[in-house]
Every structure is written in C-alpha cells, then in structure tokens.
Amino acid sequence: MQWLNYHHLYYFRVIASEGGVAKAAEKLRLGQPTLSTQLKQLEEMVGKPLFERRNRKMILTEAGKAALDYANEIFRLGDEMLEVLQDKLVANATHLQIGALDSVPKSIILSLVKEALQIGPCTVSILEGKGDELFRELYAHRIDLILANYPPPALEQKQVISKSVAKLPVYVFGAPRFQPLRRSFPRSLNGKPFVLPTAHSKLRHDLNHYFKLQKIHITPIAETQDTGLQKLLAKNGIGLAPFSEVATKDFVKPGSLQRIGRLNGVYEEIWLVSAQRKLENPIAANLMKTFTLH
C-alpha cells in the first residue's frame, strides 16, 4: 500500500498557487531542482502528470486540478483541527470569532454577541472588514460566522450555510435642512444630493432600481461602504442617505439626522453565514439555528 507524502502534496500546492517552480522555490526557500524532484515523485506516485508546460508556464492538467482540490481540502481540515483542538486546550470557554461587514448596523452585531453569551460560556472576537476578505477568512476557518448585508456568492454557496436574519425597511434620512422634502416624497428627491453605499452593495443596486422605476434622478455626491462615515456625512448636510431605521437609532434626534420618508419596497436584508466544517463551533452552530433580529 502506498502512503501519501504530505510534504510532496504541500510542495505541489505551493507550485500550483505560485504558478511555477521558480516562484514556489523562492517562497519555500528551497532549490528549484529539489522542488522539481519532489513534484516528480508525487506524479510518479499518482501515475499521472499534474502539470503541463505551455509557453514557459505550468498549467494544471485535469488530474492536477482534481489533486489541488483535494490538497486544499486536506490542508483546510488540518488547519481546522488545530484551531478546534487548541481552543479546547486553552480554555473551557468556547472562542467565537465573528466577521461583520462595515455596512452592517452595529446594533445587530451587539444583538448577536448578547445571544452568543446567553447560549454558553464563550469569548467573542469581532473582525470588521470587506466582504471578500471576510469570506476568505471564513473558508479558511479563521472565523466562525459572518454578518453580511448580502448572501454569499452563488459559486461559493456549496461551501457555506446561510440564512436571512432580518429584512429591514429602508428610509431616506437627512440633516434638518432637508426636512421640507417630506412634502411630496419621494418626488421631492429628484435632483437632490445623496451619500450612497458603494456599488458592491446589494442595497445600492436596489436603490438604483427603485429610482429608475420611480423616474427620480438623484445626484450622487459621495459613496462609502462604511455606514458610520455615511451617517457622519449625512449628519453634516453633505447629502441625503438611505438607511434602515435600526442603523440610525442613535443618530435620529433633534438637530441631527431626520427621517424624510420610506422607500416602499426597498429593504436591507441581513444574512448570517457559516462555513461547513467537520468539527462545529457549538456556539456558532446554535446561533445559526436560533438567531433572528426581533
């Protein structure tokens, strides 16, 4: 019976990710002849070439693509095993790692943390950032859950479990000088300046669709994926801004942001996402079953 040499598999994976032996050798600090020999030994063991050379480039064969899929899964499981076992050895409390998009209202993050602490003893780490960065961390099992305002991309849905935890009506808010726009809303928005979420946001696409259907032509003045900055710009009269009421709870007060009107049919949906894994984080698994925004 042949046993898989994991060093060979690791070197193959690095060669594939770096696009060639030279770059992989530099990253691994190994000689190119050594690395080529290791790759050849792996190919001899599996009985098929894993790369073919085209125009001085190393291209994965069909067997190579299949091997890379298995290699990625093998090393992902190894990382997951270490993370889970080390967490269990360090303390009795479960360590829950949450990723949250900058655009997710802080009050929703707070609700998730509160419910996690009620489920059982745990310590919670919160990482805020961009969606592509957070999803990479989730797939690598460096975080347990993501709060996002859009579902995972279709190509990646096989790797994750997701559920909608809130569907929030969207309103237009603005500084006190915009209060007269309440009359004849939403027609009054025509030509007015707006501080919008960036184009990657599902809410931005829904807003564009709404204004197009209503034949309202707004003037984008600024865009940001950080709702805190968006609120600050709107509060200072730079432009109107669309938010769910949950997102503006601490900002709507006399002399600050004012609610101008509701955009009927426009919602901000919040999703809770976890990655499929062999050893589940018990707090994360429980939250996936029970957490919803009331």
- Residue ranges, comma separated, of all CATH 1.10.10.10 domains in the chain are 6-83
Which pLDDT score is estimated for 157? 55
Contact assessment for residue 167 and residue 266, using Cβ atoms and an 8 Å cutoff: no
The per-residue pLDDT of the chain, averaged, comes to 86
Which pLDDT score is estimated for 221? 96
Is residue 80's pLDDT more than 80? no
Fold classification of 92-165+271-290 is D-Maltodextrin-Binding Protein; domain 2 (3.40.190)
Q: Which residues, in sequence order, are CB contacts of 121 under 8 Å at separation 6+?
A: 92, 93, 94
CATH of domain 167-267: 3.40.190.290
- Residue ranges, comma separated, of all CATH 3.40.190.290 domains in the chain are 167-267
Residue pLDDT, tens place only, 234-289: 999 999 999 987 766 655 565 678 999 999 999 999 999 998 876 778 899 999 99
Which pLDDT score is estimated for 85? 67
Residue pLDDT, tens place only, 54-72: 877 888 999 989 888 888 8
Which pLDDT score is estimated for 95? 85
Which pLDDT score is estimated for 233? 94
| For range 190-202, the mean pLDDT | 91
Look at 64-68, 80-84, 166-170, 171-175 and tell me which has the smallest mean pLDDT: 80-84
DSSP secondary structure letter of residue 76? H
User: Coil, helix or strand for 245?
Assistant: coil
- Residue ranges, comma separated, of all CATH 3.40.190.10 domains in the chain are 92-165+271-290
Q: What percent of the chain is modeled with pLDDT above 70?
A: 89
Does this model's pTM top 0.85? My answer is no
DSSP-assigned beta bridge partners for residue 161: 274
Look at 91-105, 106-120, 160-174, 192-206 and tell me which has the smallest mean pLDDT: 91-105
Residue pLDDT, tens place only, 12-52: 999 988 888 888 888 888 888 888 898 999 988 888 899 98
Residue pLDDT, tens place only, 81-96: 776 666 554 555 678 9
Using 50, 70 and 90 to split pLDDT, how confident is the model at 98?
very high
Contact assessment for residue 225 and residue 134, using Cβ atoms and an 8 Å cutoff: no
Which pLDDT score is estimated for 256? 77
Q: What percent of the chain is modeled with pLDDT above 90?
A: 42
CATH of domain 6-83: 1.10.10.10
Closest CA to 166 of 205, 241, 109: 109
Q: Which residues, in sequence order, are CB contacts of 139 under 8 Å at separation 6+?
A: 76, 156, 159, 160, 275
Tally the residues of the chain. Answer: 294
